[in-house]
Amino acid sequence: MSFYIPPIEDREIAWASELMGLGPNGFAAIDGDDSRLKAIQNLQTCDFEACPGSGKTTLLVAKLAILASRWSYRQSGICVLSHTNAARDEIDHRVGATASGSSLVRYPHFIGTIHGFVNEFLATPWLRSKGNPVRLIDTDIALKRRYGKLARNWRYVMDQRSLDRYALQYDKSDYSGGKKGKLARDTDFCRAMEAVAREGSEEGYFCFDEMFVWANELLDKYPEVAANLRRRFPLVFIDEAQDNSQLQSTMLHRIFLEGDAPSTRQRFGDSNQAIYAYNGADGAMTDPFPSGAPQNLPRSYRFSQGIANVAKGLGIVPQPLNGSGPTRGRVSRDALPPVLFLFDDKSVLDVLSRYGEHLISTFTPQELSAGVFTAVAGVHDLDDKGALPIPRAMGHYAPTYDPVSARRESTPGTFGQYLCKSSRDALETHNAQSIVNGVASALLRLAELAGATPTSFGGRRSAHRSVREALEGSPAAETYRSLLDKSITLQGQFNKDEWQSVLPLIKEIGGHIARVIELPQAATDFLTGPDGLQNQPTEASSSQTILNFYSHPPEEPKVNIRLGSIHSVKGETHTATLVLDSFFHKHHLSELKPWILGERAGGAKKQQKGKPDMEGPRLLSRLKLHYVAMTRPSHLLCLAMRRDVFIDDELKQLQAQGWQLVNCGA
């Protein structure tokens, strides 16, 4: 069967633009810039460099809606891959909401994460064909089980060699490799670690990246599988492609581009926003993004040129950044000048309150209710390395901050952390659906820990739908409705007595899904309530303590400021963002002072004898991280830095460039 996509017509683009709520001319040229129009018309293999706020997800969904409305192949579909669950959920929700696009959430199409695709089409069926069960794919749980199987003397050796539990992972099908440093394989210690990795895997517990090991083994033995997948998915879209790891990039290239009849592949991303979940992580070397000459989408509809001028210098890859905002979806007003909050050791705890005061004095009560206000730090987990230097992490600004609940993509470790995350989202979006999804996701995790096989209720269905189907026709279905009613009423914020009242309901539902009478210890350990709500919260501290919100003023809050890491807000749009300085080897923003002053731009070192050279990897990482942070706000960008970083002339220079200064110690 030959695959052919007819050119996209002007009438289809106008229809899709209306569908996205942009009017008939939403993708038309603006001031001679027709990049969005060309992007939606392009049906060839191509990479798109999309600046922050360029509307790439809207463009992708519009293109998918057009393609779905005319799709005629019954056994071949469109594959849409995202880097994170959050991006997957957004695309899935927006595509499914359109009449034509709703077909894309069903066979023969696929919308999901890269890991989800590899698991569903390659690794899981291959493992099961060999008689190996797949019970749970979760790095933390898999490594905890392996560590528990390791003899005590070998645990001691791990500590002596400064090896963490990640040394128990493998990257080869004989259970060798992984992060074991310089340890020789022919040692008793290495054999012991490989033995527990093998035993845990044969029991069905895997780390996320280990599924790529088994996917590659399948492709090595049966290369025709890749050809079959190319026939199944002749058209592939990859979102946030700049975040693809070497492991992911190599796998996707092998499946869709190597060999005969490659798929048509389009990747969307921004190489200036390539930040990773942990220090030292690297991007793709095989088939990196972008490859060849990309098509640029340089116009941001999120923020004005004022914010663009501040942020664009931090982009290590020189690109145009044209501000056409601010977006007026939540707040209909013009953009505001940037603000620099200055503090010292004594006034660091005043930064958030001064930020709150500035927001209240700047925005109307209606805007404060409708807007999204955040404060973020590059380092948000205050580790055990001591209190100095100040500020090290978010905890120096907000001592009650909980880093676990703020991590968007990490799997919460307790039922209470699921509730905290969903309650935080509900407070910001004013939508109870996040509570429903949070409770359902926590119940499914409880069932997994109790022994249920994830694929028996997972797949690509929503967590809520999966729970409903698992409970259909049983008394536990009514129990689930009661639990949801209680959770929605309380917005996920349980005190000690309320938590104890719903625990029996949770145990009944989890036990029914897992088909067990008594929950095992791992499941029982998971049933920890929201940490700060074990006792009745005080009016002044509840939202800040539990939800990682700073409410100001505490007694009668007028604005709720969400706290988090820069990683946790990637891809988001805020009304106002405060970027807090933090510490990794050196203070982030202090190191970026020349860029903030406008004296430096990009990632190139200062010219020395005409030799072009790039800054070291640590500084380049700082630039990317804070480029992401400074391109989140639509209306107001704020920074918080130590006062002693600047001399008076530099502060005058910033004021001349339009910055407002707030002295937190005054």
Q: Assess whether pLDDT exceeds 50 at residue 232.
A: yes
Neighbouring-strand partners of residue 172: none
Q: Are 54 and 301 in contact (CB under 8 A)?
A: yes
Which domains, from first to last, does the chain contain? 10-120+214-297 (3.40.50.300), 139-207 (no CATH), 305-401+550-663 (3.40.50.300), 409-533 (no CATH)
Residues in CB range of 9: below 8 A, 6 or more apart: none
Instruction: Give the model's pLDDT for residue 533.
Output: 44
What integer is the mean pLDDT of 357-366? Answer: 96
Average model confidence (pLDDT) for the chain? Answer: 87
pLDDT tens per residue, range 199-223: 999 999 999 999 999 999 999 999 9
- In which band, very low, low, confident or very high, does the pLDDT at 1 lie, cut at 50, 70 and 90? low
> How many residues does the structure list for the chain?
666
Instruction: Give the model's pLDDT for residue 406.
Output: 60
Portion of the chain with pLDDT greater than 70, in percent: 90
Instruction: Give the model's pLDDT for residue 278.
Output: 46
Neighbouring-strand partners of residue 14: none
Instruction: Give the model's pLDDT for residue 536.
Output: 36
Q: Assess whether pLDDT exceeds 70 at residue 531.
A: no
- The span from the CA of 352 to the CA of 551, in Å, is 9
- 0.85 exceeded by pTM: no
pLDDT tens per residue, range 550-574: 999 988 899 999 999 999 888 889 9
Neighbouring-strand partners of residue 576: 373, 636
β-strands 583-584, 586-587 pairing: antiparallel
Task: State both tokens at 533.
Answer: 């709500």
What integer is the mean pLDDT of 267-293? Answer: 77
Task: State both tokens at 635.
Answer: 């209306």
Q: Assess whether pLDDT exceeds 90 at residue 650.
A: yes
Residues in CB range of 169: below 8 A, 6 or more apart: 139, 143, 178, 179, 197, 207, 209, 210
What integer is the mean pLDDT of 344-365? Answer: 96
In order of 29, 80, 396, 600, 639, the CA distances from 597 in angstroms are: 33, 41, 25, 8, 12
Least confident among 411-420, 441-450, 590-599, 650-659: 411-420
Single-letter amino acid, residue 505: L
